[in-house]
Amino acid sequence: MSFLPVTKEDMLARGWDEVDFVYVSGDAYVDHPSFGAAIITRVLENAGFRVAVLAQPGWKTADDFKRFGRPRLGFMVSGGNIDSMVAHYTVAKKPRSRDFYSPGGKTGLRPDRAVIVYCNKIREAYGKIPVIIGGLEASLRRFAHYDYWDDKIRRSILFDSGADLLSFGMGERSILEIAERLDAGEDISQMRDIKGTCYAVDVRETPYSGAECPSYENVVNSKKEYAVSCRIQQDEQDFFRGKAIKQKHGSRMLVQNPPAMPLSTAELDAVYALPYERTYHPMYEKDGGVPGIEEVRFSIAHNRGCFGGCNFCSLAFHQGRYITARSKESIIKEAGLLTSLPDFKGYIHDIGGPTANFRRPSCDGQEQRGLCKGRHCLAPEPCPNLKADHSEYLDILRSVRNLPGVKKVFVRSGIRYDYLLCDSDDTFLRELVKHHVSGQLKVAPEHCSAFVLDKMGKPHIEAYIEFSKKYFSLSGKAGKEQYLVPYLMSSHPGSTMKEAVELAVFLKKMGIRPEQVQDFYPTPGTVSTCMYYTGLDPYTLKEVYAEKNPHEKSLQRALLQYYDPKNANAVREALIKAGRRDLIGYGQNCLVPPAKPHGAANGKRKNGGKNKR
């Protein structure tokens, strides 16, 4: 096989006089199964559809959207692997210096709000033609949502883009059904029953069934209504029990059908067995390739979904909380394929997914009732019904590391250490430490304050402390000097300066000096973003402090790296604001020394900074 057509010449070389679909993406074209565009286009190709890829088209005019001529069935549009605004801007709203999903890491190759811009250009080029939007940007913006960059509520992206249908979540089922029904001659405006899609109708055509959340107009005018809306939307994202959701926008009604059924193991295996080229298109070679491939080129995704359900993470709203997993045979087959690639050096960088050590639903009851509404499986404490078992995952790791040509198999995806601690058999942890850590294991305690962790939907810090003791003990017994790299987050809703100081004191006590910290980034579609915007917990409607002042946020962030001399002034200011002057000084528990007298810094004197002999 080969890459799908990216030019009209490619299309004609295949003997095609037209294509069925043009897939438009904000990312460079990378034909690898860690890229959603690759999966969807290969699934369509496998079903017999002719698909062309229009990657990062020029958007100043509509000309590029005419590259393949008018597609027979329509356009599919995605902003790329991540939201285009997140791709372009840091949490401080400053332009990023690099775009990992563009050739050579170059910025500026896609527009802000890519899905909306692309759809408008398609309409300019072809007028009335079926347009289906999907991918993360569309999925997370499917309802009226708070937009951090505009600092306001925006309408559902379905209205702003003018698309006909929105495919949310993992779109293999919905996209294939849309394609087959279009191919059979059905008008896209009549497709109102496809699970995993959103559509819009006149309010007079609103379906009777389902849950209705507060209207766009109401959530614009009331933060409480926005919080209520957020909870309804989160609670119905379960394929087993989820209802349709309706949200009025003026005279139009947005309708989200229930989520699509997750793929079975056999179906997931089939998706990953499709003939991906497993790299970027050769047209990017002159630019040095596409940086986003490097972390995944020799990695294997073995699962989907995450019942961890962290409030700041978009996974629950996009992939869902239900776990589906590939078979051992499928994973071993892909590992064997990796060993045959010309630039493979013997190292498989990851066998993971959203959470590496999840291979099954969190409890047996999910097959009969779905996941519990409004509850977390692991936080603040593990549910009594939780079934923690690493035996199958361990068997896969053992089998892959024993394949000919494989020197080492690493686990680099997130490990849920709280889930790991629930497993009464510590064999997996012992072998993880001995065989699958590259000197450092990344984990995500995020904070130490119980109050902040509750707002994050994370376990309390005692779980991290217990895990770290076991990890270092087993590393020592294995004769290895290994480290934990904790992910930490500043300024999450619930964190005042008091909690930020608490975290800094904890880090000093534990001897942790994080090289990188993440300031909370309010991305669309998460519970934490709702708390940030409204100042309310959507599940209790109680007030939650959310720091929005850029300077105050910078002080919280500086506290996490209190040891860095360049942060000294900020740390002192933060400690004074928090009423913790006791932590300024030279004592064992102090975080930062006092400020030097004016003019005494770096041993300089007032005579121009020169020392007399």
Q: How do residues 497-507 score in pLDDT, each as one tens digit?
A: 999 999 999 99
357 closest CA partner among 434, 438, 417: 417
Share of the chain above pLDDT 90, in %: 93
Domains of the chain (ranges; CATH) run 8-198 (3.40.50.280), 298-438 (3.30.750.210), 443-613 (3.30.750.200)
600 — pLDDT class (breaks 50, 70, 90): low
Query: Please, what is the Cα angle at 454 between 452 and 456, to 5 degrees?
Result: 70
Share of the chain above pLDDT 70, in %: 97
Distance CA 607, CA 609 (A): 5
> Residue 271 above 70 pLDDT?
yes
316 — pLDDT class (breaks 50, 70, 90): confident
The predicted pLDDT at position 436 comes to 97
pLDDT tens, position by position, 517-565: 899 999 999 999 999 999 999 999 999 999 999 999 999 999 999 999 9
The predicted pLDDT at position 604 comes to 44
Beta-carbon contacts of 383 under 8 Å, excluding residues fewer than 6 positions away, are 362, 363, 372, 375, 377
Main-chain dihedrals φ then ψ at residue 440, nearest 5 degrees:
-135, 135
Distance CA 31, CA 180 (A): 23
Distance CA 268, CA 501 (A): 45
The predicted pLDDT at position 606 comes to 40
Query: Please, what is the Cα angle at 478 between 475 and 479, to 5 degrees?
Result: 90
139 closest CA partner among 99, 114, 170: 170
Helix axes 36-46, 265-272, angle to 10 degrees: 100
Distance CA 46, CA 1 (A): 12
The predicted pLDDT at position 599 comes to 61
Query: What's the whole-number mean pLDDT along residues 325-344?
Result: 97
Residue 200, classed as helix, strand or coil, is: strand
597 — pLDDT class (breaks 50, 70, 90): confident
The predicted pLDDT at position 1 comes to 55
Q: Strand 408-409 to strand 21-25: parallel, antiparallel, or no bridges (unpaired)?
A: unpaired
pLDDT tens, position by position, 19-54: 999 999 999 999 999 999 999 999 999 999 999 999
> Residue 602 above 80 pLDDT?
no
Measured from the Cβ of residue 82, the count of other Cβ atoms closer than 10 Å reads: 21
75 closest CA partner among 22, 147, 2: 22
pLDDT tens, position by position, 565-574: 999 999 999 9
Residue 592, classed as helix, strand or coil, is: strand
The predicted pLDDT at position 596 comes to 85
The predicted pLDDT at position 515 comes to 85
Give the residue carrying structure tokens 């000294």: 568
pLDDT tens, position by position, 89-101: 999 999 999 999 9
pLDDT tens, position by position, 356-394: 999 999 999 888 888 999 889 999 999 999 999 999 999
Measured from the Cβ of residue 264, the count of other Cβ atoms closer than 10 Å reads: 10
Distance CA 174, CA 168 (A): 9
End-to-end CA distance of the chain: 78
The predicted pLDDT at position 306 comes to 94
Give me the long-range contacts of 421-426 (CB less than 8 A, separation at least 24).
421/463, 421/466, 421/467, 421/470, 422/382, 422/386, 422/388, 423/388, 423/389, 423/390, 424/388, 425/390, 425/391, 426/470, 426/474
Give the residue carrying structure tokens 């840091």: 90
494 Ramachandran zone, left/alpha/beta (phi>0; psi -120 to 50): left
CB 22 within 8 A of CB 185: no
Beta-carbon contacts of 194 under 8 Å, excluding residues fewer than 6 positions away, are 165, 174, 177, 178, 181, 257
Q: What is the DSSP letter of 582?
A: G
Measured from the Cβ of residue 203, the count of other Cβ atoms closer than 10 Å reads: 13
Measure Cα distances from 249 to 44, 198, 523, 551 in Å. 33, 14, 22, 36
The predicted pLDDT at position 215 comes to 98
CB 379 within 8 A of CB 453: yes
pLDDT tens, position by position, 159-203: 999 999 999 999 999 999 999 999 999 999 999 999 999 999 999
Query: What's the whole-number mean pLDDT along residues 422-451?
Result: 96
Distance CA 4, CA 276 (A): 10
Single pTM value for the model: 0.94
Main-chain dihedrals φ then ψ at residue 165, nearest 5 degrees:
-140, 150
Give the residue carrying structure tokens 């987050």: 489
Query: What's the whole-number mean pLDDT along residues 255-277?
Result: 97
SS (H, E, C) 80-143: CCCCHHHHHECCCCCECCCCCCCHHHCCCCCCCCHHHHHHHHHHHHHCCCCEEEEHHHHHHCCC
611 — pLDDT class (breaks 50, 70, 90): very low
Find how far residue 300's CA is from the centre of its chain. Answer: 17
The predicted pLDDT at position 414 comes to 86
613 — pLDDT class (breaks 50, 70, 90): very low
- Mean pLDDT, rounded, of the chain: 95
